[in-house]
Amino acid sequence: MVQADLGAVAAIEREALSSWSARSLAEELQVSQANQGVAESAEKEILGWYACREVWSEAELLKITVKKANRERGVGRFLLGHLFLELQKRKITCLFLEVRSGNRTAIRFYEKNGFLQVGIRPGYYTDPPDSALILKKNLS
Ligand SMILES: CC(C)(COP(=O)(O)OP(=O)(O)OC[C@H]1O[C@@H](n2cnc3c(N)ncnc32)[C@H](O)[C@@H]1OP(=O)(O)O)[C@@H](O)C(=O)NCCC(=O)NCCS
């Protein structure tokens, strides 16, 4: 993801729950040990994006969002596949993430892509209240 992508990514975020503001997106671009990726259509329209941070040999997926009109067409799977390869190149051994226990679509999506539940944080989210499931994908 580059500066020029921020407007399109912010628009995708505005459609989603727990969306990141344009300011948070711009700040994330400046973080070292962070990496972001976008998926584009043949016409160069941005269809989805992710944000990930790395700590030593582990990484955390902070965000993945696909444009509403383009969901369930493999864009999310493409983004994750790209991220897995990038992390493996850098010898990252596992990828963690937190997901709302009520976000059944995302949980199904992560399970389909090889994540397993390794923990739960009761009452972690507010507005609306929910627990966080901690999922992990082994990359080595
Ligand atoms: C979760 C999200 C990123 C998935 O992206 P996507 O492009 O729609 O997912 P894909 O089309 O690549 O789906 C990959 C697999 O996930 C599963 N999946 C995706 N959406 C699903 C749904 N609504 N119901 C059930 N399974 C679903 C599918 O089974 C699919 O596997 P299959 O093709 O073998 O059937 C997308 O729904 C999204 O942006 N949601 C809003 C933001 C969000 O909740 N992000 C995660 C926060 S932790």
What is the Cα–Cα distance from 95 to 61, expressed in whole angstroms? 7
> Which of 73, 109, 121, 133 has the most ligand 1 atoms within 8 A of CB, as the residue to mutate?
109
- The model's pLDDT over 80-125, given as tens digits with 9 standing for 90+, comes to 999 999 999 999 999 999 999 999 999 999 999 999 999 999 999 9
How many separate domains does the chain show?
1
Pure H helices in 2-140:
6-14, 22-29, 75-89, 104-112
Phi, psi of 56 (to 5 degrees): 50, -120
Mean pLDDT of 39-62: 97
Model pTM score: 0.94
Q: Beta strand pairing status for 46-55 and 130-138?
A: unpaired
Output the residue whose Cα is nearest ligand 1's atom 44: 106
Q: Around Cβ 129, how many Cβ atoms within 10 Å?
A: 11
For ligand 1, pick from 71, 95, 125 the residue to mutate: most ligand atoms within 8 Å of CB: 71
Residue 28 alpha carbon to ligand 1 centre in Å: 24
Residue span of the structural domain in which 19 resides: 3-138
CATH number at residue 124: 3.40.630.30
Average pLDDT over residues 115-138: 96
